[in-house]
Amino acid sequence: MLTKRIIPCLDVKDGRTVKGTNFLQLRDAGDPVELAARYSDEGADELVFLDISATLEGRKTFLQMVERVAAAIQIPFTVGGGISSINDVKNALDAGADKVSVNSAAIARPSFVDEASSCVGSQSVVVAIDVKRAKNTWTVWTKAGTESTGLDALSWANEVFQRGAGELLVTSMDRDGTTAGYDIELLSTLSERISIPLVASGGAGKPEHVKDAIQLGKADAVLAASIFHYNKISISELKLFLHNNNISVRM
């Protein structure tokens, strides 16, 4: 049985880790390098670093910060934010990332997913999809969740899968930062349609939410921020809870 991954997320703005609710009302959560080192030591399986204002500000990911984080950890590391060219992909990997996360650039030019996966391999290309529920469907949003694309999330997920994405990082904007639980219907619907790993994001507030994302949503990995940043639970405590609920995790 494949182990399920627990992945802390560092949303970084102006050199600090921040966390908001529904992508708004950002509040400080600490130094990203210190948090990264702590999570690596606590047993995180991977780490995600998202430079959340890079695309909106029309700039590239802050590579010096990426290098500092990479030097502080001993686990795989995904970097996203402002990555819109093959050079950006290469620069992030050269700075110490193991994977890159692309979002707005893929929406603007879907063939970028093909090019990136051909250049560095699908295993290094994560497509991040930010979605909002619209009645019985989900719509893709872009530019740090500020602009609706009108794209159907399920169709878009299938397209990037076909184009060579190695993993999907799917964030429910409705649940983000609410600590009310993941959008299980969204996750389970996607997991039935897509055969690449699915990373659930948006809504973790207690261990049961993570368990449900894995058991009911069929997620391969779970991303969380608030519950770790504000010491609601440690990664080791969460893994022990999952292990005791018959979920295979790396202890």
pLDDT in tens, the chain (251 residues): 689 999 998 888 776 677 555 544 445 556 888 889 999 999 999 999 988 666 656 656 678 889 999 999 999 999 998 899 999 999 999 999 999 999 999 999 999 999 999 999 999 999 999 999 988 899 999 887 888 999 999 999 999 999 999 999 999 999 988 889 999 999 999 999 999 999 999 999 999 999 999 999 999 999 998 888 777 899 999 999 999 999 999 98
pTM for this predicted structure: 0.91
Which CATH code of 3.90.226.10, 3.20.20.70, 3.40.50.10610, 3.40.50.300 fits the domain covering 5-244?
A: 3.20.20.70
Which helix (H) or strand (E) element contains residue 88?
helix 86-94
Q: Has 176 been annotated as catalytic?
A: no
Q: How far apart are CA 73 and CA 21, in angstroms?
A: 27
Q: How far apart are CA 59 and CA 249, in angstroms?
A: 37
- Compute how many other C-beta atoms are within 10 angstroms of the C-beta atom of residue 28: 12
Q: Which two tokens stand for residue 50?
A: 């998202």
Q: Work out whether the CA dihedral 110, 111, 114, 120 comes out positive or negative.
A: negative
Q: Has 212 been annotated as catalytic?
A: no
- Compute how many other C-beta atoms are within 10 angstroms of the C-beta atom of residue 164: 17
Q: Which two tokens stand for residue 250?
A: 């790396």
Residue 94, SS3 per DSSP: helix
Q: How far apart are CA 52 and CA 216, in angstroms?
A: 29
Q: Which two tokens stand for residue 38?
A: 């702590």
Catalytic site residue from 45, 51, 88, 130: 130
